[in-house]
């Protein structure tokens, strides 16, 4: 795809490859509105590609929308406070890396940004959209393919995808994160994104969706996606619609984050409220909550179930282990809590294991058709071995023309040129995580992929 504008007709993409991990602990019930938390935080660790420069130091008074830090290389790219109060603490890790920028909540005063009406946003300029997003603290909701980093403000994408789909294990989708009345805000956000690219803006929606906020969208191309995970992953969707050409980029964002962009421009105030979900059998009661962005994790998740548990920011496939005494992230809207155990079982894999799930049908339950969700924990159920080319890997990779065995062997060998030819820049992290999940040799393919991308960034 060149830099010239391009349009697609509406199309349906039904992916056959992939896997829906049947993990128990799904969120049920309505969204719970939580009281205002005592503190909130912005965590630069969630924003790949940004190096923070502190603007509001400990003891400084801030409002909703006050800049807490900016990117060192791009002063107009700022992260802002979700609450009014005082900067309580700047938590640093090894080598003084900023982990959390904590604000004690004491009020609701807010900074004012320029307000637009919906008609004016249709004609917004690129610079107005870029500076509005950067100063308003919402530029980092954007990601670019390849590499999945926050794009630089001076770059231009070939086109932009807005994804309203989510198929990851226990992950919340548009039914929870996008309100029925968010249609105008979503349309406003789409107009803002359209100003950033000479190409098309496309919206990916679930197959057969009836969500009111996704109806009657204007000046965008709509693509329906169906099938198992990772059909809801934006990186996979980009590969099926129009991958980046040459050295170009394609940007993407989630539809619920684009609605926040629209609200920022329509209301002239930073939209601080977020919906988070806390799922998994490691919780006493999985739930969805509405609170301030960056609220404490414990207030979001509620009580854990008895016994040792593992706290994960994100899904069990691609999330990261977190300390529950910290705060929620900027972009990720879910926490997963699962039992943290690796018990040895009598007779091991030779037992019937009727309550377990096996992609390879290694247990009797795989032949009896035992369905439903399963309680899953952190146990590996086996040891690390050499890669076995038995054909299982291709069944969970939805990106076309990828041969996982050959790709990962070239990455392990450090052959960067061959890795790029075989799809290093095309495979998504969700697909690599699924490869890890189904691998009989317990190989961490997602870690290998990250290492390969790091080598590409260093050498390319």
Mean pLDDT split into 10-residue runs, the chain, 460 residues: 47 96 95 98 90 96 98 97 98 92 96 98 98 98 97 98 98 97 98 98 96 94 97 98 95 98 98 98 98 98 96 96 95 96 67 72 64 85 79 93 96 96 98 95 95 93
Instruction: Give the per-residue pLDDT at 3.
Output: 43
- Domain check: are 405 and 422 in the same one? yes
The verdict on 444 and 420 lying in the same domain is yes
Identify whether residues 225 and 120 lie together within a single domain.
Answer: yes
CATH code for the domain in which residue 195 is found: 3.40.50
The confidence score (pLDDT) of residue 348 equals 63
Into how many domains does the chain fold?
3
Question: Do 120 and 244 reside in the same domain of the chain?
Answer: yes
User: Which residue in this structure is represented by tokens 């996606």?
Assistant: 225
> How confident is the model at residue 390, as a pLDDT?
75
Selection from 11, 15, 456 nearest residue 228 by Cα: 15
Q: Determine the pLDDT at residue 4.
A: 37
Give buried/exposed letters for 208-238 (b at 16+ CB in 10 A, else e). Answer: ebebebbeebeebbbbbbebbbbbbbbbbbb
Same domain, 102 and 68: yes
User: Strand, helix or coil at 123?
Assistant: coil
Q: Are residues 130 and 172 in the same domain?
A: yes
- Residue 389 located in a structural domain: yes
Q: Is residue 425 part of a domain?
A: yes
Question: Tokens in use for 147?
Answer: 């590499």
The answer on 399 and 443 residing in a single domain is yes
CATH of the domain at 102: 2.40.50.100
Domain boundary among 107, 124, 140: 107
Candidates 54, 31, 32, 34; CA nearest to 44 is 54
Q: Which domain holds residue 418?
A: 380-459
Confidence (pTM): 0.94
Half-sphere exposure of 275 (CA within 13 A, CB side): 19
Which of 90, 107, 124 is where one domain is finished? 107
Looking at the DSSP bridge assignments, the partners of residue 352 are none
**Residue where one domain finishes, among candidates 267, 302, 324:** 267
Instruction: Check whether residue 218 and residue 198 sit in a common domain.
Output: yes
The answer to whether position 373 is within a domain reads no
């Amino acid at each position: 795809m060149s830099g010239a504008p391009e349009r697609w007709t509406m199309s349906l993409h039904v992916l056959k490859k992939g896997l829906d991990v049947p993990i128990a602990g799904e969120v049920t019930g309505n969204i719970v509105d939580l009281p205002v938390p005592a503190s909130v935080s912005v965590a630069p660790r969630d924003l790949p590609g940004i190096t923070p420069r502190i603007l509001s130091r400990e003891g400084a008074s801030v409002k909703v929308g006050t800049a807490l830090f900016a990117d060192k290389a791009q002063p107009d790219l700022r992260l802002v406070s979700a609450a009014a109060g005082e900067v309580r603490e700047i938590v640093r890790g090894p080598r003084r890396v900023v982990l959390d920028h904590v604000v004690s909540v004491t009020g609701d005063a807010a900074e004012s940004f320029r307000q637009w009406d919906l008609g004016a946003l249709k004609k917004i300029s690129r610079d107005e959209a870029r500076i509005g997003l950067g100063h308003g603290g919402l530029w980092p909701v954007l990601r670019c393919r390849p590499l999945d980093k926050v794009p630089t403000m001076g770059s231009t994408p070939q086109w932009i995808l807005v994804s309203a789909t989510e198929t990851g294990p226990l992950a919340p989708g548009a039914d929870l994160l996008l309100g029925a009345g968010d249609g105008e805000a979503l349309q406003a956000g789409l107009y803002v994104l359209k100003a950033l690219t000479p190409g098309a803006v496309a919206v990916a929606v679930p197959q057969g969706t009836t969500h009111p906020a996704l109806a009657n969208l204007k000046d965008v191309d709509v693509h329906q996606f169906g099938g198992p995970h990772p059909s809801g992953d934006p990186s996979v969707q980009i590969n099926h619609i129009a991958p980046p050409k040459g050295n170009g980029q394609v940007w993407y964002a989630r539809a619920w984050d684009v609605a926040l962009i629209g609200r920022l421009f329509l209301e002239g105030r930073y939209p601080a409220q977020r919906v988070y979900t806390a799922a998994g059998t490691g919780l006493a009661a999985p739930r969805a909550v509405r609170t301030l962005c960056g609220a404490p994790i414990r207030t979001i998740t509620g009580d854990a179930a008895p016994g040792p548990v593992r706290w994960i920011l994100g899904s069990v496939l691609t999330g990261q282990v977190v300390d529950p005494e910290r705060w929620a992230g900027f972009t990720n809207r879910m926490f997963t809590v699962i039992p943290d155990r690796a018990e040895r079982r009598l007779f091991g894999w030779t037992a019937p294991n009727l309550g377990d799930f096996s992609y390879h049908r290694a247990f009797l339950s795989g032949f009896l058709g035992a369905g439903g969700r399963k309680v899953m924990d952190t146990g590996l159920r086996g040891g690390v071995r050499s890669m076995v080319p038995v054909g299982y890997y291709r069944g969970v990779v939805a990106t076309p023309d990828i041969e996982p065995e050959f790709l990962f062997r070239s990455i392990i060998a450090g052959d960067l040129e061959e890795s790029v030819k075989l799809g290093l820049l095309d495979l998504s992290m969700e697909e690599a995580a699924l490869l890890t999940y189904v691998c009989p040799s317990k190989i961490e393919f997602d870690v290998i992929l990250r290492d390969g991308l790091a080598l590409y960034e260093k050498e390319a």
